[in-house]
Amino acid sequence: MNKSSYPNDGMRQLIEGYRHFFKGNPPRKGFCALHAEQIAHTQNPHSMVISCFDSRVCPEAIFATNDGHICVHRNMLNQVDTKDTSMMASLRFAVESLKVQNIVVLGHSNCNAVAKLKHLEELPSQIASWLGGAGAQYRGDTYELAIKNNVLDQLERLRQIDFIRRAMQEENLNLEGMLFYIDSGRLERFDANGQRWTLVETEE
Ligand SMILES: [Zn+2]
């Protein structure tokens, strides 16, 4: 993705932040007394990221964001469950009040939640009901493909939500699917035009 192909400025910031992270730069300045006063009274995040609960995946670190730049909603399977009132409230607030430019579904390699979709009957009921309750499926011939397809399934669920569809049409809300590789730090992005996953370049 080069500068001219970013769908909006928020996506440019995410990709440039990722390159910052990939090159091993230290995290950008987080919340501190000097910074606090500037952001205390308002927030203007450019993106909402829906990420897995997995402790090895930290969106603020991967995209090297400053405070106030992204809203993050995390759960097992980076899942969009329209019965989950916490998820739906966060989505609606992000889209209609904060007017985010992007909603990113961020999957990751080695996702145990996706692997567990094959064996829901072996899990405690609370975990099985979350993972399978909205109809998530292990879809694909390989583990990696199943993880990617889960991201695409969540994007499709987002597109079915009326206020999101409206924001896509009227305000150019952009939906993105991404996959973070824990073992290499690489990031792939789903190219909706070409209908394929492409590696995010780590150089401009
Ligand atoms: Zn996971």
Q: What residues have a C-beta under 5 A from ligand 1, the ion?
A: 52, 54, 111, 113
Distance (Å) from CA 104 to ligand 1 centroid: 15
Q: Is residue 131 part of a domain?
A: no
Residue 12 has pLDDT above 60, yes or no: yes
Q: Averaged over 94-116, what is the pLDDT?
A: 98
Q: Is residue 78 part of a domain?
A: yes
Distance (Å) from CA 119 to ligand 1 centroid: 15
Per-residue model confidence (pLDDT) at position 25? 79
Q: Is residue 116 part of a domain?
A: no
Q: Is residue 121 part of a domain?
A: no
Which range of residues forms the domain containing residue 87? Answer: 3-31+42-109+157-199
Task: Supply the CATH number for residue 192's domain.
Answer: 3.40.1050.10
Q: Is residue 50 part of a domain?
A: yes
Residue 152 has pLDDT above 80, yes or no: yes
Based on the structure, what is the number of domains in the chain? 1
Q: Is residue 100 part of a domain?
A: yes
pTM attached to this predicted model:
0.94
Distance CA 120, CA 117 (A): 6
Q: Is residue 190 part of a domain?
A: yes
Distance (Å) from CA 192 to ligand 1 centroid: 23
DSSP assignment of 175-198: EEEEEE-TTT--EEEEETTTTEEE
Distance (Å) from CA 142 to ligand 1 centroid: 16
Q: Is residue 48 part of a domain?
A: yes
Residue 31 has pLDDT above 60, yes or no: no
DSSP assignment of 95-139: IIIS--SEEEEEEETT-HHHHHGGGGGGS-HHHHHHHHHT-----
Q: List pLDDT tens digits, range 50-104.
A: 999 999 999 999 999 988 899 999 999 999 999 999 999 999 999 999 999 999 9
